[in-house]
Amino acid sequence: MALHRVGLYWFSNDLRVADNPLLAQAANECQQLICLYVLPPESRQPNRYGLRGLGEQRWRFLQGSLRDLQQQLQARGQQLLVLQQNPLHSLAELISTHGIEAIYFAQHAGYYERRYQHILRQRYPFIHYNSAATHTLFDPLQLPFDLADLPDNFSKFRRLVESIDLRARIAAAEPAAIALPRSPLKAELVLQKWQQLPATKVIADHPWQGGSSAALQHVQQYFASSAPQTYKETRNALDDWSSSTKFSAWLADGSLSVRQILTALTQHEQQQGANDSTYWIWFELLWREYFQWYAHAHGKRLFAFSGLKQRGPATSFYPARFQKWCSGNTPYPVVNACMRQLNTTGYMSNRGRQLVASCLVHELALDWRYGAAYFEQQLIDYDVAANWGNWQYLAGVGADPRGHRRFDLDKQTRQYDPQGSFIAYWGNSQASLVLDDCDAADWPIS
């Protein structure tokens, strides 16, 4: 028998029905259920860095994920209400209108997202709250340390996890629930809110299509192929679809769970064999996992100029340099090509991200936070923990025990674009060979 007359499931970084045990719990405990996604208006407005938190490429991909989720919910007798307003305002109205007795939401690595959840609990203590780690491999209770004692670098984290073989303790991904409780909302209201969303251009043949349907199809195709067997050798390619797993965008918004990937990886190893490359996929999943808990452990320090250190890097902010970096108009051809690829597609390879981040911090001497904020705006696979944690790592203020990592851009170009094909395709033949047209105060240099 259901425990609650009306419940609310607040979707965030878990835009899927399959392998979502928290949604299954809500279905079992509620007579009626409201499924909600909230898009804060400020995500589409300029932030403290003069950038938007949600650029056009990210918004296009997110809309695809939301539409796919809506279709899956409709197939199970449900519907997704998408609102554009402050989450606390949205929830206050729904609580008062529908008498909500229980709220379900995924644990989130974002500091501000957790603040919303904390304030909600304080304002409405009479409501039953249910939360679960749906965005990570491990539940906090499975970790071999308290979160306050999170290792200060990834290598220590990995050794601890692998010393007790935590991988073997992760349950297989769960199938989707067949049915869900009906919604108390009128279909006309839900449709009206969908129609009020900002329009975005649909690109039918784009390789990145949002939603768990596209995600699961890609997972099946990838692990049915031989690509995982050579992943370690090919993963650093700058521009090749099959060279790396390409799971990141679906992982970021939760259309795909990390457990679904691990289940598919394990099946692939059983069928085609395990080797260094298939291990390296697990290694990369652990790298992502580490930064999720890193964000949980360090909160707003994730966004601090000095990161976890006592002193920030010796950088400043030069508006003209930053603009050149963003547009791919620097004296560094491989950086220009990577940035133009990002601006066109919303994606950049992991190797490319390291190169452009190193360029911004070392060659351009810019505040790393502006680079992280630009990635937040542009990347369709933006994940708050992975993005800001990795930028701290490259800037020498985070989890890297070696400090500043500076990449030799010429050497990297010879190694990863030896024929110059990547630069020829994505590069800017009109790029400036001069770093500064203006001084630090933005005055023209004569």
Residuewise pLDDT in 10s, the chain (446 residues): 579 999 999 999 999 999 999 999 999 999 999 999 999 888 888 999 999 989 999 999 999 999 999 999 999 999 999 999 999 999 999 999 999 999 999 999 999 999 999 999 999 999 999 999 999 999 999 999 999 999 999 999 999 999 999 999 999 999 988 889 999 999 999 999 999 888 777 676 778 899 999 999 999 999 999 999 999 999 999 998 999 999 999 999 999 999 999 999 999 999 999 999 999 999 999 999 999 999 999 999 999 999 998 888 889 889 999 999 999 999 999 999 999 999 999 999 999 999 999 999 999 999 999 999 999 999 999 999 999 999 999 999 998 777 667 999 999 999 999 999 999 999 988 877 788 876 656 666 65
Q: Are residues 75 and 154 in the same domain?
A: no
pTM score > 0.85 for this model?
yes
Q: Are residues 361 and 280 in the same domain?
A: no
Residue owning tokens 């674009």? 417
The contacts of residue 273 (CB under 8 Å, 6+ apart) are 229
Q: Are residues 112 and 222 in the same domain?
A: no
Q: Are residues 156 and 279 in the same domain?
A: yes
pLDDT at 202: 67
The verdict on residue 195 lying in a domain is: no
Q: Are residues 365 and 420 in the same domain?
A: yes
CA nearest to 436, candidates 336, 370, 365: 365
Q: Which amino acid is at 125?
A: P
CATH at residue 329: 1.10.579.10
Q: Among 135, 160, 183, where does a domain finish?
A: 135
CA nearest to 214, candidates 63, 387, 386: 63
Residues 3, 4, 10, 15, CA torsion sign: positive
The verdict on residue 391 lying in a domain is: yes
The verdict on residue 193 lying in a domain is: no
Strand bridging mode 80-83 / 30-38: parallel
The verdict on residue 202 lying in a domain is: no
Q: Among 135, 158, 187, where does a domain finish?
A: 135
Q: Are residues 131 and 162 in the same domain?
A: no
pLDDT at 443: 62
- Per the structure, the complete domain to which residue 60 belongs is given by 1-135
Residues 322, 324, 326, 330, CA torsion sign: negative
Cβ 45 vs Cβ 88: under 8 Å: no
Whole-angstrom distance, CA of residue 279 vs CA of residue 297? 27
Q: Give the total number of structural domains in the chain.
A: 3
CATH at residue 270: 1.25.40.80
Q: Among 299, 331, 353, where does a domain finish?
A: 299
Q: Are residues 330 and 266 in the same domain?
A: no
The verdict on residue 182 lying in a domain is: no
The verdict on residue 179 lying in a domain is: no
Cβ 30 vs Cβ 7: under 8 Å: yes
Q: Are residues 147 and 130 in the same domain?
A: no
Q: Are residues 253 and 388 in the same domain?
A: no
pLDDT at 119: 97
Cβ 240 vs Cβ 196: under 8 Å: no
Distances (CA, A) of 384 to 113, 146, 286, 373, 376: 10, 22, 16, 10, 8
Q: Are residues 342 and 295 in the same domain?
A: no
Q: Are residues 141 and 232 in the same domain?
A: yes
Element (H, E) at 5: strand 4-11
Q: Are residues 142 and 290 in the same domain?
A: yes
CATH at residue 40: 3.40.50.620
